[in-house]
Amino acid sequence: MTEKKLVKKSSDKDVSIFLEKVAKIALTKDRSSNGRLVFGMDATASRQLSWDTASHLQGDMFLETTANGGLQVQLVYFRGFKQFVSSKWVNNAWELMTLMTGVSCLAGETQIRKLLKHSLNENNKSPIDAIIFIGDSVEEDIDVLGKLAGQLGILGVPIFIFQDGSDSVAEYCFKQITQLSNGAYAKFDVNSRDTLKKLLRAVAVFTAGGKRALQLLGKEEGGEILKISNQISKID
């Protein structure tokens, strides 16, 4: 008999914990200029369905950011045989969606190390505020990834990783990376569109406006984000 793996869906508690982590990081940031976000994605073959989902949801990242100085995003992805691509910086949902929908996933190994090194280089050119990475596996030396993540953490660039699926090795590695960079980790699956939408919007708002932006979003949205914003308002 073939054993079937059950994919655990993200619960409301998982989302709440993630957003609370974002809120704590946001306490150290408060700005009125454009936030800069590296949006990294694994585009190997196993991720086609999730790529399509993210392509359609990414527009929500820009919804609340205009009033807080706006958001600049660079799409970075890897696929196939050592293909590693970084886009120009864009500042609206249409341009980012155009870039993403033009990509098809190809079989290949992960290249997270290249993503982290690229982000370090970009930060040297002009400071970036955060990194999002969406992936489902890790096929690289965790110590190497950890060293790069730690360097980004020292520079004040948190990494937010959204794991697609339930691979235990990937989960361990992703949690190490986010911890070393002072970022946050959350899990979702292709059926959790609302979960991914919340996570993307939370990081985008944090990147663009920090604490004040999350407080405003909390008043508008209610729910878990409102609880977080209320906690922040009590802290000087």
pLDDT band at 223 (very low <50, low <70, confident <90, very high): low
**SS3 state of residue 41:** strand
Buried b (16+ CB within 10 A) or exposed e, 78-96: bbeeeeeebbebbeebeeb
Closest CA to 200 of 8, 19, 7, 13: 19
Around Cβ 114, how many Cβ atoms within 10 Å? Answer: 17
Please report, as a single letter, which amino acid is at residue 40. G
Confidence check: pLDDT of 16 > 80? no
CA angle at residue 59 from 122 to 80, to 5 degrees?
A: 55
**SS3 state of residue 119:** helix
- pLDDT, one tens digit per residue, over 55-112 is 666 655 555 454 445 678 899 999 888 889 999 998 877 787 787 777 777 888 899 9
Confidence check: pLDDT of 229 > 80? no
- pLDDT, one tens digit per residue, over 26-63 is 544 444 457 888 999 888 877 667 666 766 666 555 55
Closest CA to 31 of 74, 58, 65, 61: 65
Fold of 34-211: Rossmann fold (3.40.50)
Name the residue with higher pLDDT: 201 or 9.
Answer: 201
- pLDDT, one tens digit per residue, over 188-220 is 766 666 767 777 777 777 777 766 666 676 677
> Sheet containing 83-90: which strands, arranged edge to edge?
83-90, 71-79, 35-42, 130-135, 159-164, 184-188
Q: What is the pLDDT of residue 191?
A: 63
Confidence check: pLDDT of 236 > 50? no
Contact 217, 61 (CB under 8 A): no
Residues in Cβ contact with 95 at an 8 Å cutoff, skipping those fewer than 6 apart: none
* Two tokens, residue 24: 């704590």
Stated pTM of the model: 0.76
| Kind of pairing between the strands at 130-135 and 35-42 | parallel
